[in-house]
Amino acid sequence: MHTTRRHCPIYVITLDHAKERQQTISARLRELGLAFEFISGVDGRGLKLENHPDYEPIKRRLFYGRDLSQGEFGCILAHRNVYRHMQEQQVEMAVVLEDDSILTEELPDVIEALERIADNWDLVRFLGRDKNYRSTRPIRPLEGTSAMLARQLGIPGGAYGYMLNLKAAKRLNRMTQKNWLAIDTLHGAVWLTGLRTLAVAPSPVLPNDESPSCIDTQDDNLRWDKTVRLEGGMRLIYPVTRGLWKFYLACCTGWIRLKSLLCDRGDVKRVGTHGS
């Protein structure tokens, strides 16, 4: 543990052999004056999904047409290590970063601002791609920063940075005992988690698109391969199960848009007044 600026704990997920990544993010966190702790990741290359007790292959195949990649599954288990740690140590609030994340100068101020309004959220996702911002509904300015507290609409991908409380850690730990959704998909499926999930725009944590993530390195980009890998009867019924899944997602995301709009309306009006 490196003790500098006092904040809630920051956990950096890393594979034990990723020394260069560890050095890079360590140096950056020290520049920002932020204390942090490494949490060991899980190397998916050593996992056998078919026989793993924490994997639900049938559900995954029926709705996605292929298995989770080894890297995706290792990523789930790595983030679960953080949730278990928080639950065991009764950590009330923490920031989670992947070791290739790019951290902006505003990260310390954003953390402080979110700490001050901790009663208003369970999970705050740091999603730094333009497509994430386009699908964001601003709620209100985040005091002491140039960013906005926002609501992500849909199921945006990315788990390279976020902040969560103990309630969220317990819920996500429980929901990752049996897995068929990638961890970032689970974070976005708020109708499943029941968590008060928000975002920050612009994000103080950005994806490192110049350096492939450990997931991509492990899987040779299988994560982005949408090829259906089914045989027999399962391949025949897949168009139906996939269609039903997409319809279910559309209904759930539409309901969340409407439900959250009613919750956010007052704050959205204040944002407009602030901006004028």
From CA 171, how far away is CA 6, in angstroms rounded? 26
From CA 16, how far away is CA 13, in angstroms rounded? 9
User: Percent helix, strand, coil in the chain (nearest 5)?
Assistant: 50, 20, 30
C-alpha distances out from residue 185 to 13, 52, 72, 193, 219, Å: 18, 20, 11, 11, 18
From CA 186, how far away is CA 193, in angstroms rounded? 7
Q: Which residue has the higher pLDDT, 30 or 135?
A: 30
Tell if the pTM clears 0.85, that is, is over it: yes
Q: Answer yes or no: is pLDDT of 271 > 90.
A: no
Beta strands per DSSP E along 59-158: 93-98, 102-103, 123-125, 136-141, 148-152
Q: Determine the pLDDT at residue 6.
A: 67
Q: Beta 148-152 vs 197-201: how paired, if at all?
A: antiparallel
As a residue count, the chain comes to: 276
Q: How confident is the model at residue 45 (pLDDT cuts 50, 70, 90)?
A: confident
Q: Answer yes or no: is pLDDT of 3 > 70.
A: no
C-alpha distances out from residue 101 to 28, 224, 272, Å: 10, 19, 32
Q: Answer yes or no: is pLDDT of 66 > 90.
A: yes
Q: Determine the pLDDT at residue 50.
A: 85
The phi, psi pair for 134, rounded to 5°, reads -65, -25
Q: Answer yes or no: is pLDDT of 125 > 50.
A: yes
Ranking 67-71, 113-117, 118-122, 213-217 by mean pLDDT, the lowest is 213-217
Largest CA distance in the chain: 60
Q: Determine the pLDDT at residue 275.
A: 41
pLDDT digits (tens, 9 = 90+) for 237-270: 999 999 999 999 999 999 999 989 878 875 544 4
Q: How confident is the model at residue 2 (pLDDT cuts 50, 70, 90)?
A: very low
Ranking 54-68, 137-151, 178-192, 208-222 by mean pLDDT, the lowest is 208-222
Q: Which residue has the higher pLDDT, 214 or 157?
A: 157
The type of residue at 178 is: K
CB 145 within 8 A of CB 113: yes
Q: Determine the pLDDT at residue 147.
A: 97
Q: Which residue has the higher pLDDT, 224 or 60?
A: 60
**C-beta neighbour count of 184 within 10 angstroms:** 21
Q: Answer yes or no: is pLDDT of 1 > 50.
A: no
Ranking 126-140, 191-205, 241-255, 257-271 by mean pLDDT, the lowest is 257-271
Percent of the chain with pLDDT over 90: 75
Here the tokens at position 273 are 């007044």
For residues 219-230, average pLDDT: 66
Q: Determine the pLDDT at residue 154.
A: 87
